[in-house]
Amino acid sequence: AYNWRSTFQVTPRDVIFPFSTIQQPSTGQLDASVFYNINENWKVGLQGVNLLDDVTRTTQTINEDGLRAARSFFRNDRRFSVILRATF
């Protein structure tokens, strides 16, 4: 699954730098999973999250003309899981 979100406003006013707006530019994340049915009751799978290793960024307005600059960067890293499911 690929999830994408367009640019959005995080907060209309920030308390750190002259009460300016903070936005998150558009970003996407690719996740995948695959499962194998061992039998009627057991299933094993592999799941991967943030496969493209996307970095979430925020920007901040820094002047009255609307100029924006980088504010923060968040790296969530890729995550892989092995999953065992049982149904009774």
The pTM assigned to this predicted structure is: 0.69
**Calpha distance 27→54 (Å, rounded):** 8
**In the structure encoding, which two tokens stand for residue 81, read together?**
């899981």
Quick one: pLDDT band at residue 20, thresholds 50, 70, 90? Answer: confident
The total of other beta-carbon atoms located within 10 Å of residue 50's CB is 16
Q: Does the structure show a pLDDT above 70 at 52?
A: yes
**In the structure encoding, which two tokens stand for residue 82, read together?**
């092995």
**Calpha distance 32→57 (Å, rounded):** 23
In the prediction, which pLDDT does 64 show? 78
